[in-house]
């Protein structure tokens, strides 16, 4: 980013500081908007999800683009985006590793899993590796309390993860095979 204060401009994916306007995305946001009552903010969340799919994260310019399409304010869009863990207000790496730290995961070693990822990746939770490959985050709950500790790797669940499992998971990220848990089952998060 080139700045974070008032009047600062963030580069888009191409490095440009011009607002990223996309006519096709605008049309898609209008289709999303048509499914919701007029004069409501109900379309904001699905519109933000679609914009994030398009751009990878929700910069100030993208929030403005969504707000313009929905005839609302960037503040409303940012308020919604900042509430949901699934929406990213900063760039993330090519891979996203999320470790559940809620009580069910915490009592079976979530902190040790986080520390193992930090050691293996060379970055702290809430950061992206220096090469931009992996973002490590802690999240409040991934909804898999019976299979703790839960780790979502690129939105695919890994169950019963311990600190000892982390080196293999990181190795898989380097190899590009991150869609299977230790049993070999595909565990896509919904």
Domain residue ranges of the chain, discontinuous segments joined by +? 1-90, 95-175
123-174: pLDDT as tens digits: 999 999 999 999 999 998 899 999 999 999 998 999 999 999 999 999 999 8
CA 63 – CA 69 distance, rounded (Å): 10
Residue 181: what pLDDT? 46
Mean pLDDT of 69-91: 93
The CATH code for residues 1-90 is: 1.10.10.1590
1-53: pLDDT as tens digits: 333 333 444 444 434 444 456 889 999 999 999 999 988 899 999 999 999 99
pTM attached to this predicted model? 0.70
Distances 127 to 59, 98, 136, 139 between C-alpha atoms, Å: 17, 11, 6, 13
CA 169 – CA 160 distance, rounded (Å): 13
Q: In CATH, what is the architecture of 95-175?
A: 3-Layer(aba) Sandwich (3.40)
């Amino acid at each position: 980013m080139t700045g974070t204060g008032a009047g600062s401009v963030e580069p888009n994916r191409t490095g440009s500081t011009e607002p990223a306007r996309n006519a096709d995305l605008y049309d898609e946001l209008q289709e999303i908007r048509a499914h919701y009552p007029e004069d409501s903010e109900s379309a904001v969340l699905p519109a933000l999800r679609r914009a994030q799919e398009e751009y990878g994260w929700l910069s100030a310019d993208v929030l403005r683009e969504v707000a313009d399409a929905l005839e609302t304010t960037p503040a409303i869009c940012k308020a919604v985006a900042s509430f949901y863990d699934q929406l990213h207000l900063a760039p993330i790496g090519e891979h996203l590793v999320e470790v559940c730290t809620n009580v069910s995961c915490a009592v079976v070693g979530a902190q040790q899993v986080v520390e193992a990822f930090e050691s293996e990746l060379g970055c702290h939770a809430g950061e992206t590796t220096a090469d931009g490959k992996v973002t490590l985050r802690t999240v409040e709950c991934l909804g898999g309390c019976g299979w703790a500790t839960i780790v979502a790797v690129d939105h695919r669940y890994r169950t019963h993860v311990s600190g000892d499992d982390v080196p293999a998971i990181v190795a898989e990220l380097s190899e590009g095979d991150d869609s299977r848990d230790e049993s070999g089952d595909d565990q896509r998060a919904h």
